[in-house]
Structure 1
């Protein structure tokens, strides 16, 4: 059944189920109380048990908040310099273009390297880029091409940083607690999505964009320091890729492994269609606010924050499960798709806010469970390559998906755009339900006779 844990088959026999029902009836309120406490304990288990992950998590809390500040400030900076919507679109192309071109190759190199040390290098590169942007903005000497160039540099660094961050998590917490740590990583990302832009808005109004860039550059010291303070002896050992093959052949090996592994192929194909067609909120939310709800920037900020709050709740819920679950993955994808279909015809701000809470919750539940499923079913020496593919279908398709969403909104309004997004995502969820059901039933042994 698709509700079994992904990658680990374990089925109880009929007698075990009868015992479970008798215990459930006798436990009463005590069982409910213990269950709630156990869920709460599971949610933050990785933070309590692993010093290295604790350092990394709180370093990332500071650093990712700074990154969200810079994302908002950088777009606003381009608007100040050019007063052109097209120029903002070109900024996004500079940020995501390098990953779209070469994202599949970064994981091959990451699989061969010490990922903790590599992350220290990539985070230092991000810090120097932000410091350069801060100097240009604070001295009023910035040209548009310089902002684009620095965005492109960040895009190139991301080719190596993303698969390294994704595949390093298992070294900090081990295989058993990987799903919990992935969900906690998602929670801090979404919490920062709420805090960072809010701080950026205040700082831009009071002190200008340069201060945001400066704070972001300093925020990288937190995660660099966390990585430096880790006890390398406490990291869980993983096998590295020792094959002396070209980057091209290494990337082909990763793609071939993902394609011939049914579970990985199903999860990645689901994500390809949902990410490309269904996840384009950076394009559609401003249009929903201005053209559909006829509102201004305050409502846009509120809707963005509600989406982030829902995503944070979804990530914490995923963390409480304690394992990767096909049922949770498919439930998240299905609710996400249905909520997008509901969002299309909405014309009231309060109703749109409620639906976006649900969309954010389901989005985070689906993506964190997909991430866990891929990592748990990939050998150590290929993990960075497979996670590079995951990041590629998530980020690398953003330019194409954004153009499609914008075109659909132009010819038929945001209602058409969300109808197509929800419909394609729902079809992908149905494909996933069929594919994962076949896979888990094939891996699940028959129950022992009574």
Structure 2
């Protein structure tokens, strides 16, 4: 029984190119979180302002709002591997520049914002291409498993990266964390170069103009009720209830009255819960809309429980559970959208998820920073949890009026 469960949990690793993707990103994601921890903490150190932290989140994610859907349309037209290599080369260059500025003591807040904007532009193109590349590597049958395992990479990095980043920032400064991220990108790029994946066959997406492709993405998003509910659940919950990049450093500094080490710890605990959720999904290996709604409901409910906590032990315990529900909600939504899409919309389905997950972050980061300024992290978590529960309840009511049937393009239940 355990052997069968283990084989099902790691089924997509039987693909050679996915093993390379998995290994390269295992290193790169840790470096990315090290850089994020260093950047947010550095802004907080330089300004002492929660709104300044929210502003950094704004400039990093604003390009996703502006160009995220364009990234999906481009991904449906070009060689995916080359597109990912080009984007990650830009991200590596940003990390090198941050390291040089920080290590020479010449870094300023405006430079963090400017390079954050460049980073956001690269990610707007990189993320949909990476997700579509995974589909190209593993195919439909193993997609749900591969999405869950890829999510486990991100969540393990969320656990390990902040812990390492917090220690590195405390012991050696943010410049070393930025340099570590630059090195991690060379590993990811090397893995991409080693892949043997064949170029994708020409699809209808390759002949569609980019702007027309974006319009087609919206027709897909609002053409099926179950796709619409999934997309809006991701967009609204992400915008108003998933601003942890902004809130966790403020929990460490303002609620727990601790430093970078504790910030790294609580972020890692959240990541540990998310890893457990990812492994659960990998074992289930099936995309279910019910998991999107159940995950969103748990994500909101436990934020209400987190809001009044002021001890490190209680914060860690609740954050762990929130991490589990976060993956059940977010990763299930990605698989639902990709499996619902026809082949020529595969990249745009991934970009729709990225747009939903990160497109509202510019407003959400400022919203979270303003709530903390007005009423502390307690108010921010109460509002976030209430909104998440309201969105899920609305989605469930809409679905209750729709006949139960699988979506046309994939086995979504």
TM-score, scaled to structure 1: 0.83
Take 2:60 and 2:12, find their aligned partners in 1: how far apart are those partners? 32
Once residues 305 and 113 of structure 2 are traced to their aligned partners in structure 1, the CA distance between those partners, rounded to angstroms, is 37
- SS at 1:242 equivalent: helix
Aligned to 2:173: 208
Deviations 1:178-204 (A, max 9, x none): 000001111111111121122223333
Could you tell me which residue of structure 2 aligns to residue 17 of structure 1?
none
2:308–2:378 Cα contact (<8 Å) kept: yes
- 1:339 and 2:288 matched: no
1: CA distance, partners of 2:305 / 2:131: 33
Query: 1:43 is matched with which residue?
Result: 9
Shift of 1:237: 5.7
* Deviations 1:241-282 (CA, angstroms, capped at 9, x unpaired): 13342x322211111121112221110111122111111223
Distance 1:167 1:240 in 2: 15
Partner of 2:342: 379
Deviations 1:306-360 (A, max 9, x none): 1111011001111100211233323222222221222223344322322111111
TM-score, normalisation: structure 2: 0.90
Q: Does 1:320 align with 2:283?
A: yes
Structure 2: distance between partners of 1:238 and 1:355: 48
Count of residue correspondences: 407
CA distance in 2, matches of 1:365, 1:347: 26
CA shift, 1:104, in A, is 2.5
The 1:441–1:154 alpha-carbon spacing in structure 2 relative to 1, beyond 3 Å, is same
Aligned to 2:125: 160
| Distance in 1 between residues matched to 2:104 and 2:249, nearest whole Å | 31
- Give the drift of 1:160: 0.7
Q: How does 1:246-257 map to 2 (within 5 A)?
A: 247-257=210-220
Task: Give the corresponding residue for 2:234.
Answer: 271
Match of 1:187 among 132, 149, 152: 152
What is the match of residue 302 of structure 1? 265
RMSD: 2.4
Distance 2:403 2:161 in 1: 40
Change (3 A) 1:348 1:205: closer
- Output one character per residue of 1:393-450: Cα deviation in whole Å (capped at 9) or x when no partner: 2112112122223333444443433232222211222233344455571349xxxxxx
Does 2:104 align with 1:139? yes
Within the candidate set 198, 206, 209, 2:163 is matched to 198
Seen in structure 2, the aligned counterparts of structure 1 residues 89 and 266 have a Cα distance that, compared at 3 Å, is closer
Tell me what 2:411 maps to: none
Structure 2 residues not aligned, in runs of 5+: 408-413
Give the Cα separation in 1 of the matches to 2:52 and 2:320.
Answer: 30
Residue 71 of structure 1 corresponds to which residue in structure 2? 36
**Long gaps (5+) in structure 1:** 1-33, 445-450
Is 2:302–2:318's contact at 8 Å kept on the other side of the alignment?
yes
Counterparts of 1:88-127 in structure 2, within 5 Å, are: 88-127=53-92
Displacement after TM superposition at 1:294 (Å): 5.1
Equivalent residue, structure 1, for 2:331: 368
Q: Which has the larger radius of gyration?
A: 1
Q: Is the 8 A contact 2:76 2:344 kept in 1?
A: yes
Aligned to 2:203: 239
